[in-house]
Amino acid sequence: MRGKPAYLGVDVGSVSTNLVLLDEDEKVLEALYLKTGGQPVKAVQEGLARLSEEAAGEVRVVGVGATGSGRQLTGVVVGADIVKNEITAHAVAALQRFPGVRTILEIGGQDSKIIIIRQGVVVDFAMNTVCAAGTGSFLDRQAARLGVAIEDFGALALQSEHPVRIAGRCAVFAESDMVHKQQMGHTTEDITRGLCQALVRNFLNNVAKGKEIQPPVAFQGGVAANVGMRQAFEEALAMEVNVPTYFGVMGAIGAALLAKEEMARRPRQTCFRGFEMSRTDFRTTSFECDGCPNHCEVIEIYLNAILAARWGGRCDRWDQLERSHLVAGGKQLLTSL
Amino acid sequence: MKVTFPHMGTLWVAAKAILEDLDLEVVVPPRPTTRTMNLGVKHSPEFACLPLKLCVGNYLEAFERGADAIVMAGGIGPCRFGYYAQVEREILNDLGYSYRMIVLEPPKGHLSDLVNEIKGFTGQRSLRRIYQAALFGYRKLGALDAIERRTNQVRVDEAARGGTGHAVQKATALIDRAASMDDLKTALARGLEVLDQVPRKESGDPLKIGLVGEVYMLLEPYVNLDIERQLGEMGVLVERHVYLTDWVRSHLTADFLRFDHEREMRQAAKPYLGHWVGGHGVETIGNSVLYARRGFDGVIQVAPLTCMPEIVARSLLPVVSQDHGIPFLSLFLDEHAGEAGLRTRLEAFVDLLERRREQRRRRASTLSLEVAGHSR
């Protein structure tokens, strides 16, 4: 057993895949932000390969947590000790960074959420339902349309003195309204700032509606990189908005913290498959169950040709099988790796 | 005449028993599936609530199996449900189906109205026959309720995930097959036994969540994305504010029967909502308060998108939550509801309750330490 103990957190979202290594003192050793690109398994494998180059010799992973919309799949792929939803993961990470935090605004590629914390515990939360979805992706695309690099988008917005009012009910309206404003001759600065304000209005009206936003406020998720969005939030809320250093990988940090908590509560050997799994062959297949007219699409995940997991059915018909296969598969796994 | 009716959880078992008891030929529509939903959505107004859409789907699928008459509950008051039987009739007419529609309206205190409607389609069976059939059906509902309550208790402790599902199906089938009151007693005992045989583990002290909201969305697992099973498998003890017998009692027999729980619930709702808003709006508020008083950890409201009574309740829930210290989660669902999104919200809500409870325990223990320290 070489290297210092570390906790791995993996957050697989629809747009980005993030991996974080934390040491025993909960300090970030490594943080990776990758594009998921529609291939979560590949993204996770690539991330592990890179972590392995950076840190494999120096650290010994003693706990793994998975989160994000791809948490179930990731859990199987990396061998997670705990699989948690992204709301809990984000709250745990924010609380570690700002112990007194009372409101968390989190905007990622596809989802946006607000988490209300009182006395160190989550008391309420909301996720986008009818709208305010895809804010990160939307900003990406509009930056491309305006011919601005997404990294410069926020800074450009800060230069504006006369922001343009843009209809923010939904992304489609915002886009057509933005194009209209462009065609009316407004400057790119004014449009970018107007767009940030529109998205903040949309978030506050659709996601945060009815929630009591109290300071201190933390703003995290990929969109927090955008200083224009941060400023628009500060204006709209009339309070300071804090962006943590690792704003983009807070979900992964939370997953790693949860893994640490879990291993302390129930000490055991980690299920981590090792950095070498970046070279393992993962294959997913699916079939349509014909047990009833639901025709569920059942997904099977094979690890080196052994069935490692199966899900997707609405009834327990395939779950039952999953267990027996998993037991058999688990034994073979131990001998094959 | 071949009679059918829409699905609502296990209501079909009792409805089938009553109608068959009256010597009618019954077509039980297939259990709701994606196909039922697609058919219903295609032929229903977009902003109608999910129950209407699924009912239409049920009728169309039952028609394929030869049904030509429908028994449907009506209603009075601000909830649109009361009008749905008529809307459904028009939709089916427009589609060219010749269905006979029999609407059971709540009798507003006049049992004779209900009896006359029933007599109208049973071919003048004697009152006694109708009463006996109805009683038998009602007893079946009672048995099904007992099974469902036990199911949730068993599922929390199931040793292997999904172990309970098969036992429930078996128990329900036993109730369905019972042909007489004596049969039913045996079937219920046997059904409960089957459930008790599910391998269980020690669960300790599970979180308790009360489900409130609109009755159809609560009773029909297909539309609530099997919320009871999902929560049960997360190790949460679930209780629902309404079971089938409650619904029949309060909906079809209306005001002439008053029950203690009902009075208590209305009292509990009164500070927030003192008058009837239709549907289950008052029930949602009242029962949330009662769950809080009984020490439940949280409340989940389930309702169809655009449901007016539940929207009224939703806007009052934050105050109830604040006053009684019980967190709530509102889920408004329709055919566009995503399973992944629901799952994430449920998991996060359960985590919230878990951590809240942990914090309370820690506080309580430090407090008692302090007290102990002072007294020394």
Spell out the residues 6+ positions from residue B290 whose beta carbon is closer than 8 angstroms to its own.
B264, B265, B268
Q: Which residue has the tokens 């399973």?
A: B339
Of B34, B341, B351, the CB nearest to A295: B34
Least confident of A225-239, A255-269, B243-257, B332-346: B243-257
- Residue A326 confidence (pLDDT) above 60: no
Which residues make Cβ contacts (< 8 Å) with residue B347, sequence separation at least 6? A84, A85, A87, A88, B234
Side-chain-facing half-sphere of B45: CA atoms under 13 Å: 10
Element (H, E) at A303: strand A297-303
A87 contacts B348? CB cut-off 8 A: yes
Confidence of residue B186 (pLDDT cuts 50, 70, 90): very high
Assign B99 a pLDDT band (cuts: 50, 70, 90): confident
Q: Would you state the pLDDT for residue A331?
A: 39
CB A133: neighbour CB atoms within 10 A?
21
Res B75: pLDDT? 73
- The answer to whether the Cβ–Cβ distance between A119 and B359 falls below 8 Å is yes
Over range B103-123, report the average pLDDT.
67
What is the arithmetic mean of pLDDT over A194-198? 92
Nearest to B186 by CA among B139, B230, B224: B139
User: For residue A336, is pLDDT > 50?
Assistant: no
Separation CA A177–CA B161 (nearest Å): 50
Give the residue, B333 or B279, on which the prediction is more confident.
B333
Residue A324 has pLDDT above 70, yes or no: no
DSSP E strands: which ranges in chain B? 2-4, 25-26, 69-73, 100-104, 207-213, 236-240, 298-304, 328-333
Report pLDDT for B135. 87
Residue in this structure with the two tokens 């395939």, named with its chain if needed: A318
Comparing CB atoms, the residue among A69, A293, A315 nearest residue B30 is A293
Contact B91, B78 (CB under 8 A): no
The two beta strands, A112-118 and A103-107, are antiparallel
Q: What is the pLDDT of residues A175-192, one digit of tens each?
A: 889 889 999 999 999 999
pLDDT band at A44 (very low <50, low <70, confident <90, very high): very high
B252, B284, B305, B307: which is closest to B80 by C-alpha?
Answer: B307
Mention every residue, 6+ apart, whose C-beta is less than 8 A from residue B103. Answer: B72, B73, B74, B85, B86, B117
Task: Report the mean per-residue pLDDT for chain B.
Answer: 86
Q: Tell me the pLDDT tens digit for each residue of B46-65.
A: 889 999 999 999 999 999 99
pLDDT in tens, A91-108: 999 999 999 999 999 998
Q: Please tell me the distance in Å from A12's CA to the nearest CA on chain B.
A: 14
User: Are the CB atoms for B18 and B252 separated by under 8 Å?
Assistant: no
Tokens of B297: 């950890």
Sequence-distant (≥ 6) Cβ neighbours of residue B376 within 8 angstroms:
none
Q: Does position A330 have pLDDT exceeding 80, yes or no?
A: no
Q: Which residues of A76-114 are buried (b: 16+ CB within 10 A; e: fewer)?
A: bbbbbbbbbbbbbbbbbbbbbbbeebbbbbbbbbbbbbb
pLDDT recorded at residue A130: 63
Confidence band of B202 (pLDDT split at 50, 70, 90): confident
DSSP string covering A14-35: SSEEEEEEEETT--EEEEEEEE
A151-172 average pLDDT score: 87
Interface contact B23, partner A, CB < 8 A: no
pLDDT at B340: 82
Cα separation, A88 vs A96, in Å, equals: 12
Amino acid at B207: L
Least reliable range by pLDDT among A34-48, A274-288, B144-158 = A274-288
Of all helices (H) and strands (E), which one includes residue B348? helix B339-375
Which range of A270-284, A323-337, B72-86, B145-159 scores highest in mean pLDDT? It is: B145-159
Between residues B343 and B374, the one the model is more confident about:
B343
What mean pLDDT is reported for chain A? Answer: 86
Average pLDDT estimate for B125-135: 82
Closest by Cα among A43, A32, A34, A18 to A255? A18
Candidates B33, B162, B327; nearest CB to A294: B33
Q: Shortest CB distance from A292 goes to which of B33, B341, B359?
A: B33
Q: For chain B, positions 171-190, list CB contacts with chain A under 8 A.
A: none
**Alpha carbon distance B10, B176 (integer Å):** 10
Rounded distance between C-alpha atoms, residue A44 and residue A18, angstroms: 8
Q: Do the Cβ atoms of A274 and A303 come closer than 8 Å?
A: no
Chain A residue at shortest CA distance from B61 = A293
Tell me the angle at which helices B50-64 and B34-43 cross, rounded to the nearest 10 degrees: 110
CA pair distance A128, A123, nearest whole angstrom: 17
Tell how many helices (H) and how many strands (E) occur in chain B. Answer: 15, 8
Q: B277-326, pLDDT tens digit by residue?
A: 888 899 999 999 999 999 999 999 999 998 999 999 999 999 999 999 99
Determine the Cα–Cα distance for residues B73 and B52; give it in Å rounded to an integer: 12
Handedness of CA A145, A149, A153, A155 (dihedral sign): negative
Contact A123 B35 (CB under 8 A): no
ipTM value for the complex: 0.85
pLDDT at B109: 55
Assign A168 to helix, strand or coil.
Answer: coil
pLDDT band at A1 (very low <50, low <70, confident <90, very high): low
B165 contacts chain A (CB < 8 A): yes
Average pLDDT over residues A21-45: 91
Give the sign of the dihedral formed by CA A136, CA A138, CA A139, CA A143. Answer: positive
Examine the pLDDT at A242 and tell me if it is beyond 90.
yes
- pLDDT tens for B70-82 read 988 877 777 888 8
Which residue is closest to B343 within chain A, CA to CA?
A85
Instruction: Determine whether the interchain pair A85/B348 forms a contact, defined as Cβ–Cβ distance below 8 Å.
Output: yes
Q: In this model, does residue B39 exceed pLDDT 90? A: yes
pLDDT(A169) > 90: no
Instruction: Determine contact, residues A316/B166, Cβ cutoff 8 Å.
Output: yes
Considering the entire predicted model, what is its pTM?
A: 0.88
Here the tokens at position B142 are 């009672």
CA distance A230 to chain B (A): 26
